[in-house]
Amino acid sequence: MSNSDTKPIIMFDMDGTLLDLAFDDLLWNHKLPERYAQTHGCTLEQSQAELYSFYQQYKHTLCWYSSSYWTEKIGVDVLQLQYDYKDKIRPRLGCFELLDYLKQNGYRCWLLTNADQVGLKLKLETINLTPYFEVMISSQEIGHAKEFVEFWQILQQKHPFDPKNTIFIDDTAPVLQGAEKFGIENLLTITQPSSESPARHALELEYPALNNLTELISILENKTFKVSNVKTTA
């Protein structure tokens, strides 16, 4: 049995985990309200209030993550807006250092994002994550957001994996809860998803947290994660 058979698969979220959420915050909280106000001839305050009520209504649903849904709903080309500011897309601290380490050490890495397929394409065109991942999935392709256990069930049917020998890292607690419900035991979150917002206190978070992504390397080297691989314990 080769070593990579017993190594955990490392599953990553994209925005707020590998990539700086500052881009998404800028886009959804600042640039979209500005463009919505220009398009509909309203004040910025009215625009913010209307968008906020939409955000509350659709948060954690697949619609929330769909550029085409938003474009239709609010009359602003949201994908174009993302392209207009794509030079603001940045990796998080330690992103490539960690991915290089994982690649060199034979870890299988998967990218699992709630970004829609066109949003994923834009991010991958801008930041070259592709060579590091054997599986890259948008929840749009699965038909359920990562917050729901159905996402994980369908993912496993498409790409078989052992949830007991998997590490999943995501900055959003409801997503980690979905993964936990499915049976993934090794769950990590991120203290500072956006470089423009203050870091969250690790003790206040529901899951163990990384700040610099390279902190995962010592977790892997010291094996301070749970692994119950049936192939080795049988």
Residues forming the site for Mg ion (CB under 5 A): 13, 15-16, 171
Cα angle 199, 202, 208; round to 5: 125
Residue closer to Mg ion (CB basis): 8 or 193: 193
- Residue 13 vs 180, nearer CB to Mg ion: 13
Provide, rounded to whole angstroms, the least separation between the CB of residue 64 and Mg ion: 12
Q: What is the C-alpha separation between 215 and 218, in angstroms, rounded?
A: 6
User: CA separation (Å) from 153 to 8, 130, 134, 139, 175?
Assistant: 18, 24, 19, 12, 14
Closer residue to Mg ion, CB minimum distance, 61 or 229: 61
**Cβ-based nearer residue to Mg ion, 15 or 20:** 15
Q: Nearer Cβ to Mg ion, position 14 or 220? A: 14
* Tokens linked to 120: 């994923």
CB of 171: closest distance to Mg ion in angstroms?
A: 4
CB of 183 to Mg ion, least distance (A): 21
Residue 129 C-beta: closest distance to Mg ion, Å: 14
CB of 89 to Mg ion, least distance (A): 14
* Residue (33 or 119) nearer to Mg ion, CB: 119
Written as six digits, the tokens of 222 are 């010291």
Residue nearest to Mg ion (CB): 16
**What count of residues does the chain have?**
234
Nearest distance from residue 190's CB to Mg ion, in Å? 8
Distance, in Å, from the CA atom of 35 to the CA atom of 47, rounded to the nearest integer, reads 9
